[in-house]
C-alpha cells in the first residue's frame, strides 16, 4: 500500500504538485488522467524517488526516503518511453535481461533470470520478438516490450507512463484486458490521455488539474463526474450506451 499525504513535489524550487493525498492499494489499476502539464508524470516520478518532495509518501509502512535505491527498485517499476541508440542495438531478450538488474544476483544472469524473461515474454505474447532488435519493432510492439520490461523484475507496484500511446485501437483493447489481468495480482498505476481507456481499465480514476487532485473515485462514479472532467479539459464529454453498459467519450466538435 502506498499512502501519500499532503505531498508537494516538483523540479527544483518549482512545485508542480500541490497537496496530494492519495492511497494506492496492493491490487487493482489506478488511472491518472488530466490535461498536458497537469503533473501526471511528475506524480509517477516522485513515487519512484526521482524527485524530491515535501509531505509524506509511505510505501508498505516505510517512508520513501528510508529506502535504498535498490530496495525501491525491487518494489516499484516505472516505464516511460525507452531510449534507442541506432548503432548500439539491444535485442528484446537483452533488454529484458538488463531489466532484471535489481533482482539478478551475480555478474551474469542465472537460470532464474532467463526463466523470468521467458515467463513474461509468454504472458505478453512477445515470444516471437525476443531475438529482434529494439529498433526493428513497430510502435505497438515496442509498447508491449516496454510493459514486459517493467514486469520482468517482478515488482509489487507497476507505474506506466502512457502505456496506450502510439498504439492502434485493436491492440488497445487487448492492452486493456492485459492490464486488468495484471491488476488482479499487482498494483498498476498508469497515466493516460484517453478517458475511455481510463474508464475501461481503471478500478480507480484520479483526475489531476494544475498539480492538484480534483477528482478521485471508483470507475463507476466517473460517469457522475462528467461536469468536472469537462471543466478541467475545457472539452465536451458525451455519455452513451452500448449493449447494457454506459461509456463516455470526448466530442471533438
Partner 1 sequence: MITRHKLLFTAATMILLLILLVTMIILIYYYPKPANIFVVEYRFNRVLEAVLSGIVLGFTGAYLQSSLKNPLVDHYILGIGGGALFSVYLLVLFIGVEIYLVPLTAITGGLIALTLTVLIAESIGGSDISYVLSGIGVNSLFSGASILLSYMILAKQPYAIHILMGSFITASPRWLPHTIIALIIVSTTYPLLAKPLNTLLLGDTYAYQLGVDPGRVRLYSIITAGVASSIIVGCFGLIGFIGLVSPHIARLIARTTDNRIVIPFSGLLAGLILLTTDTLSRTILVSTTGEIPAGAISSVFGAPFFLILLYKRFKAR
Do residues 29 and 176 lie in contact, with contact meaning Cβ atoms separated by under 8 Å? no
Among 8, 18, 74, 165, binds partner 1 (CB under 8 A): 74
Among 6, 62, 69, 231, binds partner 1 (CB under 8 A): 69
Do residues 16 and 36 lie in contact, with contact meaning Cβ atoms separated by under 8 Å? no
Can you tell me whether residue 198 is helix, strand or coil? helix
Number of C-beta neighbours around residue 223 at 10 A: 13
Which of left, alpha, beta for 72 (phi over 0: left; psi -120 to 50: alpha)?
Answer: alpha
Helix H or strand E segment including 74: helix 69-75
149 is a site residue for partner 1 (CB under 8 A): yes
What is the distance, to the nearest Å, from the Cα of residue 137 to the centroid of all Cα atoms in its chain? 21
Among 9, 30, 73, 187, binds partner 1 (CB under 8 A): 73
51 is a site residue for partner 1 (CB under 8 A): no
156 is a site residue for partner 1 (CB under 8 A): no
Find the part of the chain contacting partner 1 (CB under 8 A) among 6-14, 73-81, 165-173, 212-220. Answer: 73-81
12 is a site residue for partner 1 (CB under 8 A): no
Residues that bind partner 1 (CB under 8 A): 45, 48, 50, 69-70, 72-74, 76-83, 85-91, 94-95, 98-99, 101-102, 107-111, 114, 149, 153
Amino acid at each position: 500500500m502506498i499512502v501519500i499525504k499532503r505531498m508537494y513535489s516538483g523540479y527544483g524550487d518549482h512545485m508542480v504538485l500541490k497537496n496530494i493525498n492519495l492511497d494506492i492499494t496492493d491490487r487493482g489499476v489506478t488511472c491518472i488522467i488530466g490535461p498536458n502539464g497537469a503533473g501526471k508524470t511528475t506524480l509517477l516520478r516522485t513515487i519512484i524517488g526521482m524527485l524530491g518532495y515535501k509531505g509524506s509518501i509511505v510505501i508498505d509502512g516505510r517512508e520513501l526516503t528510508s529506502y535504498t535505491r535498490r530496495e525501491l527498485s525491487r518494489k516499484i517499476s516505472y516505464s516511460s518511453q525507452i531510449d534507442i541508440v541506432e548503432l548500439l542495438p539491444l535485442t528484446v531478450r537483452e533488454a529484458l535481461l538488463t531489466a532484471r538488474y535489481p533482482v539478478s544476483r551475480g555478474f551474469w544472469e542465472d537460470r532464474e533470470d532467463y526463466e523470468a524473461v521467458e515467463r513474461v515474454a509468454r504472458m505478453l505474447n512477445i515470444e516471437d520478438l525476443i531475438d529482434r532488435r529494439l529498433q526493428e519493432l513497430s510502435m505497438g510492439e515496442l509498447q508491449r516490450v516496454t510493459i514486459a520490461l517493467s514486469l520482468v523484475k517482478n515488482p509489487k507496484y507497476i507505474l506506466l507512463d502512457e502505456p496506450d500511446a502510439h498504439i492502434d485501437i485493436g491492440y488497445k483493447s487487448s492492452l486493456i484486458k492485459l492490464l486488468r489481468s495484471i491488476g488482479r495480482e499487482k498494483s498498476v498505476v498508469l497515466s493516460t490521455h484517453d478517458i475511455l481507456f481510463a474508464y475501461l481499465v481503471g478500478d480507480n480514476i484520479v483526475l489531476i488539474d494544475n498539480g492538484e487532485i480534483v477528482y478521485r473515485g471508483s470507475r463507476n462514479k466517473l460517469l457522475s463526474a462528467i461536469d468536472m472532467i469537462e471543466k478541467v479539459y475545457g472539452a465536451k464529454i458525451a455519455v452513451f450506451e452500448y449493449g447494457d453498459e454506459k461509456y463516455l467519450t470526448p466530442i471533438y466538435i
